[in-house]
Structures are given as C-alpha cells and as structure tokens.
Amino acid sequence: MAEIVFGFGTSHSPLLSTPPDKWHLRVEADKKNPSLEYRGKSYVYDQLVELRKDEKLDHQSSLPIRTERHTACQHSIEQLGTKLEQMDPDILIIIGNDQREVFNENNTPAISMLYGDTVDHMSISPERIAKMPPGIGIAAQGTSAAEDTTYPIDSEFSSHVISSLMAENFDIHAMKSLPDGPKGPRGMSHAYGFIYRRLMQMPIPAIHVCLNTFYPPNQPSAARCVALGEAIGRAVAAYPKDYRVAVCGSGGLTHFVIDEEFDKGVIEGLINLDMDILSALPEDYLRSGTSEIKNWITTAAILKGSGLKINMQDYIPCYRSEAGTGNAMGFMTWE
C-alpha cells in the first residue's frame, strides 16, 4: 500500500527569486493597487501606511533587514531541497494554484487535476522578460524553466485519486494535459514551477492538484480544503502499490499585505495538524495572495492521518514597504 513518508510546505513568492535591493521595484505596483487586502478589508497604499504607522514598517522594509531575511529564506529553500532529495519519494503530490497562467475567466475550475503522463515546464524568452512589469521579469526566472522541459506525471496514481475523490462527491476538473494559450503551450503555473526549479534535484513523478484560491465566485472554502485533503489522504492509503509518497503545499503565507498575527494562528494549526483551527480560518482573510494558505491547509489535511510530525518550521516576514506590503514566507517539513 502507498504510504505518506514526508510532507513540506514552501512559499513561492517572486521575492524569493529577486535580490533584496530590487524588492522596491514592486512597491510602485503596490501604490497603484486599488485593493490591497488586509484583515478582511480592502485598502489603498496610503491608507495602510497610516493604519500601520505604529509598527515601524519602514525599518522592517529597510535594505539591511531585507537582505538578512532574503538570506534566511535561501537557507530554508536549500534545506527543503536537500531533505526532498534525501527522502527520495516515489511520488510527489503538489497542491498549488493558478494565477491566470493556465486558466482564464471563461474556464476557472475550483479543483483540477492532471492525469496524463507528462507536464511541460516552459522557459521564458529574454524578449518576453524585457516586456514584463518592473520586478516581474527578474522573479519569473526563478519559477520558469531554464529551457523547455517535460516532467513525468504518474497517470495511474492520478487517475486513482481522481476516481476516489469523485466517489466522495468531489467534482474534479480532470485534464489529460494543460490547455494551450493563444501562442501554444503555456506549461505549469509558477506555484508548481517553483518546486521544480528551486527544490527538485531530479525529476520525481508527480500528482498536480490545482485549487482556485484567488478568483470569485468558486473558491473552495478552508473547510472544503480540509475535507479535500482528508479525502486525498484516504485515496493514497487505498492505492495498492508500495509507493513512498511526499506531499507539498506551495504558496502563502500572508501577502500581498503581511499579517504576522494571522500567520501565527495559521502556523499553530499547521504545526499541530489541527483541522478545527484550519477549517475555521475566516474566508474574508483568505483573499488575494493570502488565499494560497489553502494549499497548505489541504496539505496538512492529507498529512493528518500519516503519523508525521512537524520537524522544520521557519517563518520569515519579508516586508518591502512601510505599508506592510510584501510576503510572509513559510517553510515547514513534517517527517
């Protein structure tokens, strides 16, 4: 029977692939953003500067602090990659999301899975990078492939999980391959690309589970993500082959506005695999980039019955502005 032997979560923020002296390049976009989500409400940049003035975020976002925290993040990423290589699983289940890289407004499934034999990881041409908004081109190189690459998907295991979820009343959008864009194949979303580019030393046959965390009106709730993860865990346990399975949650934690207090509660639920805490997280807080916490929630629910315990837990809030914009980075392992 298949057995879950390793679990991990990682942020995949563009800041992780951007030198700290270039983080300010995205602040102009923050200032133009009409809807910066923070604690269930939407703000503009100047409102957040005033609201959070007592937190001294100008210091938190200073270059020395940015440099220190960027270095700490790189160390955590290196540790995750080393541990994944050491565990050498037969299968890696990746829980991620899409940000209009694969799906569009006319096709946004709540829960989707690949069940073909392969998935493409595409490179980005220098010409395309040059046309990207400030800060995006630098970061994109950390999640895209150095050159177009095809990776294995375990079709049989994926099909088993899809069938098992359908039997438990989850309606899964099943894809033999990712849909092409207007100019041809687009390849995997950056939530997955980060795992392949930054953590995976050698190709691992994978199962891709994609959640619509970002876009109304059909985002799965936190409670639904718990139920989904528990069902995936049962599907893994019922698989007849003796596979050693690893599970990864990609994304989060709070962003594009950091909320350390909220993250503290999330981390408590993750460390203890406490489904009561995780399923009760307020939906109006799980908006924008912070919604990617649902990838971690699903991962934690898969791990709940595995007997694994928290081993590594790094939390590194990476502020890029006095308004509190940036990304709170999380790195965890369960072993």
| DSSP per-residue letters across 280-298 | TS-TTTS-GGGGGHHHHHH
Listed range (90-99, 125-134, 277-286) with the worst mean pLDDT: 125-134
Over 80: is that where the pLDDT of 253 sits?
Answer: yes
Is the pLDDT score of 134 beyond 90? Answer: no
pLDDT in tens, 185-215: 789 999 999 999 999 999 999 999 999 999 9
Does the model's pTM come out above 0.85? Answer: yes
**3-class secondary structure, 182:** coil
Non-local (6+) Cβ contacts of 302 within 8 A are 4, 7, 93, 95, 229, 230, 232, 233, 236, 247
Check pLDDT > 70 for residue 231: yes
Is residue 289 within 8 Å of residue 221, measured between CB atoms? no
Q: Which pLDDT does position 180 carry in this prediction?
A: 83
| Rounded CA separation 257/326 (Å) | 6
Q: How far is CA 288 from CA 13, 133, 167, in A?
A: 13, 19, 31
pLDDT in tens, 62-82: 999 999 999 999 999 999 999
* Structure tokens given for 262: 């909220």
Q: Which residues pair with 36 in a beta bridge?
A: 43
pLDDT, residue 125, reads 85
**pLDDT confidence of residue 170:** 98
Is the pLDDT at 252 greater than 80? The verdict is yes
Q: What is the CA radius of gyration of the chain?
A: 19
Q: Note the pLDDT of residue 183.
A: 66
Show the domains of the chain with their CATH numbers.
3-241+264-334 (3.40.830.10)
Cβ-contact 286, 305 below 8 angstroms? no
Q: What is the pLDDT of residues 234-249, one digit of tens each?
A: 999 999 999 999 999 9
Q: Which of 252, 158, 171, 270 is nearest to 213 (CA)?
A: 252
Percent helix, strand and coil across the chain, each to the nearest 5: 40, 20, 35
97-120 tens-digit pLDDT:
999 999 999 999 999 999 999 999
The secondary structure element, H or E, covering residue 249 is: strand 244-250
Residue 95 has pLDDT above 90, yes or no: yes
- What is the arithmetic mean of pLDDT over 158-174? 98
Query: Mean of the pLDDT values across residues 88-94?
Result: 98
Contacts of 78 (CB under 8 A, 6+ apart): none
- Averaged pLDDT for residues 130-135: 82
| Residue tagged 């999380």 (tokens) | 330
* 6-47: pLDDT as tens digits: 999 999 999 999 999 999 999 999 999 999 999 999 999 999
Interacting residues of 316 by C-beta distance below 8 A, sequence separation 6+: 69, 72, 73, 76, 328, 329, 330, 331
Question: 335 near 308, Cβ under 8 Å?
Answer: yes
Coil, strand or helix at 180:
coil
pLDDT recorded at residue 194: 97
Give the torsion sign (CA, 294, 280, 6, 91).
Answer: negative
